[in-house]
């Protein structure tokens, strides 16, 4: 396996796959879930063979692929030559996460390899970023002024909105390669030629090979804006991990955590990334911010939160399909029916909690955006956001957005196909569980 000592977090393995091998029908341990029209996400033959070997030997590789917190910490220290972890919580969240992965997630061999590498890279970067903070304490004086957080249910136009707003030359955004390689912090002088761009591109090609349905659901482009999910995962206190695996124990622990401290560490990462590449403000995007709106408002008191909206009846099968692609890669036991019912409740509860929060704090710091308007007239939608924030919408920014739209038509990688029934759901269930949300935001869905 490739390991350059600097690899950043990304969902996806690094496997030495011969380019001549084609993706074929995936092996499945499921029975009734495969009936009817459900098509399990595709998995390449070499990955299926490796996972089969792990099952044949026993315990899906658990005996020789350890996900152990102490071993992960020791390996990160050995790889980086660093020992200073700073003051952020480390051992407790890492131990809870590893225990949940080992005891509940039921990863296959590839899933174990991916998660061990994934956590290892996160730990390496925590060490490298702590070195940066210690050597350059002025990083923590960098102002994060009036950031924009785009959130809401997944599949509601947030990616399009962020990528349009990122065309503004005054906006700072997180590129995919920066997400994967945050340290040393990038600078304007070398941002176009940084060798980490090629490394990131190799990782994306491997991800697209390992999970060929992923690109149809969510395109990752090395130089494009991407979700800040990796910055959240670096805190080790984020329900973003549950998008990848079934983690009941970690979930129960996570519910008891105060998210303000993890978001303070998230802010420090933004300060690091903005240190040599300052702009007027950040435009950040991640659906799981919806679960932590109160923490965002506490840590970023001048933030604008854009909440995107779309009918959950349309959203939920798309969400489940996307999560299923990732979970199927990591576990042979991923059940789409379980995934559907669990995430139906979680996303609906997050929407209800957002309504309650806004009733307490007011709507002044929120901007609601309808998916249908973003798609119908994206430039006008962006202009309305600038007006709400009392910021100039310059001709240069508008021209750049128009140019990007012409070069990036929707569904250029194929259409993402899904059905509610594939995930144990139906329209009545979704309408009922999202009843409060659909009524409150009826004008936007």
Whether 284 maps to a domain, the answer reads yes
CA distances from residue 242 to 2, 237, 246, 289, 343 in whole angstroms, order as listed: 26, 11, 6, 14, 10
Q: Which tokens hold the place of 70?
A: 């102490």
Is the pLDDT at 320 greater than 70? The verdict is yes
pLDDT of residue 432: 98
CATH of the domain at 277: 3.40.50.300
β-bridge mates for residue 175, sequence order? 225
| Mean pLDDT on 8-29 | 37
Work out the average pLDDT over 408-426.
76
Q: Which residues pair with 149 in a beta bridge?
A: 284, 305
**Which residue in 267, 123, 273 sits closest to 184, CA to CA?**
273
Please state, in angstroms and rounded to a whole number, the distance separating the CA atoms of residues 323 and 166. 26
Q: What is the rounded distance in angstroms from the CA atom of residue 389 to the CA atom of residue 220?
A: 29
Asked if residue 183 belongs to a domain, the reply is yes
Residue 421 CA to residue 443 CA, distance in Å, equals: 27
Residues above pLDDT 90, as percent of the chain: 71
Q: Give the rounded distance of the alpha carbon of 32 from its chain centre.
A: 30
Mean pLDDT over residues 318-329, rounded? 88
Assess if residue 373 is contained within a domain. yes
Within-domain flag for 37? no
Q: What is the mean pLDDT of residues 273-283?
A: 96
Does residue 33 have a pLDDT over 60?
no
Which of the residue ranges 10-14, 130-134, 170-174, 336-340 would you say has the lowest mean pLDDT? 10-14
Residue 87 has pLDDT above 70, yes or no: yes
Quickly state the pLDDT bin for 410 (edges 50, 70, 90): low
pLDDT of 412 > 70? The answer is no
Average pLDDT over residues 60-83: 93
pLDDT band at 30 (very low <50, low <70, confident <90, very high): very low
pLDDT tens-place string over residues 163-190: 999 999 999 999 999 999 999 999 999 9
Mean pLDDT across 300-320 = 96
Q: For 328-357, what is the mean pLDDT?
A: 93
Alpha carbon distance 159, 286 (integer Å): 9
Do the domain assignments include residue 238? Answer: yes
The whole-number average pLDDT for the span 50-79 is: 88
DSSP track, 47-65: HHHHHHHHHHHSGGGTTTS
Contact 332, 51 (CB under 8 A): yes
Least reliable range by pLDDT among 208-222, 262-276, 359-373: 208-222
Say whether 415 sits in a helix, a strand or coil: coil
Confidence at 8, pLDDT banded by 50, 70, 90: very low
CA distance linking residue 273 with residue 30, whole number of Å: 43
CA–CA gap between residue 215 and residue 219 (Å, rounded): 5
Mean pLDDT of 284-303: 97
* Mean pLDDT confidence for 124-149: 98
Question: Six-digit token pair at 255?
Answer: 């519910």
Look at residue 277 and tell me if it is in a domain: yes
Closest CA to 224 of 215, 236, 213, 212: 215
What residues make up the domain containing 345?
49-444
Question: Pick from 224, 211, 406: which is nearest to 321 by CA?
Answer: 211
- Do residues 230 and 203 lie in contact, with contact meaning Cβ atoms separated by under 8 Å? no
Does residue 7 form part of some domain?
Answer: no
CA distances from 410 to 151, 159, 217, 218 (A): 20, 11, 11, 11
Tokens of 143: 């102002």
What's the pLDDT score for residue 411?
55
- Lowest mean pLDDT, pick from 10-19, 256-265, 298-307: 10-19
User: How many structural domains are present in the chain?
Assistant: 1
Instruction: Determine the pLDDT at residue 25.
Output: 37
36 domain-assigned = no
């Amino acid at each position: 396996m490739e390991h350059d000592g600097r690899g950043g977090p990304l969902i996806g393995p690094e496997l030495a796959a011969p380019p001549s091998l084609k993706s074929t029908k995936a092996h499945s341990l499921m029975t009734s879930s495969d009936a009817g029209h459900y098509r399990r996400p595709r998995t390449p033959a070499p990955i299926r063979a490796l996972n089969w070997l792990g099952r044949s030997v026993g315990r899906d590789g658990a005996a020789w692929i350890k996900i152990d917190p102490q071993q992960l910490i020791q390996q990160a220290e050995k790889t980086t030559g660093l020992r200073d972890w700073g003051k952020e919580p480390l051992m407790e969240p890492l131990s809870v996460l590893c225990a949940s992965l080992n005891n509940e997630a039921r990863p296959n061999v590839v899933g174990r390899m991916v998660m061990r590498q994934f956590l290892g890279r996160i730990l390496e970067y925590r060490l490298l970023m702590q070195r940066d903070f210690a050597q350059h304490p002025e990083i923590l004086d960098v102002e994060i002024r009036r950031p924009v957080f785009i959130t809401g249910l997944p599949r509601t136009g947030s990616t399009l909105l962020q990528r349009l707003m990122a065309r503004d030359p005054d906006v700072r955004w997180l590129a995919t390669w920066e997400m994967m390689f945050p340290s040393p912090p990038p600078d304007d002088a070398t941002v176009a030629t940084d060798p980490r761009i090629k490394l990131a591109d190799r990782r994306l090609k491997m991800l697209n090979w390992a999970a060929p349905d992923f690109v149809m659901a969510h395109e990752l482009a090395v130089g494009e804006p991407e979700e800040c999910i990796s910055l959240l995962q670096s805190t080790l206190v984020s329900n973003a991990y549950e998008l990848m695996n079934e983690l009941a124990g970690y979930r129960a622990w996570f519910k008891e955590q105060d998210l303000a401290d993890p978001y303070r560490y998230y802010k420090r990462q933004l300060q690091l990334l903005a240190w040599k590449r300052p702009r007027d403000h950040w435009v950040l995007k991640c659906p799981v911010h919806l679960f932590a709106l109160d923490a965002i408002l506490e840590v970023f008191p001048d933030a604008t939160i854009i909440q995107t909206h779309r009918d959950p009846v349309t959203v939920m099968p798309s969400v489940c399909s996307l999560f299923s692609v990732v979970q199927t890669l990591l576990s042979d036991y991923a059940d789409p029916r379980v995934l559907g019912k669990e995430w139906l409740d979680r996303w609906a509860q997050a929407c209800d909690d957002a309504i309650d929060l806004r009733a307490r704090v007011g709507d002044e710091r929120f901007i609601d955006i309808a998916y249908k308007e973003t798609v119908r007239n994206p430039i006008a939608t962006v202009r309305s956001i600038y007006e709400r924030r009392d910021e100039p919408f310059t001709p240069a920014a508008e021209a750049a957005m128009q140019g990007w739209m012409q070069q990036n038509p929707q569904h250029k990688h194929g259409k993402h196909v899904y059905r509610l029934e594939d995930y144990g759901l139906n329209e009545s269930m979704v309408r009922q569980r999202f009843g409060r949300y659909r009524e409150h935001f009826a004008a936007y869905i």
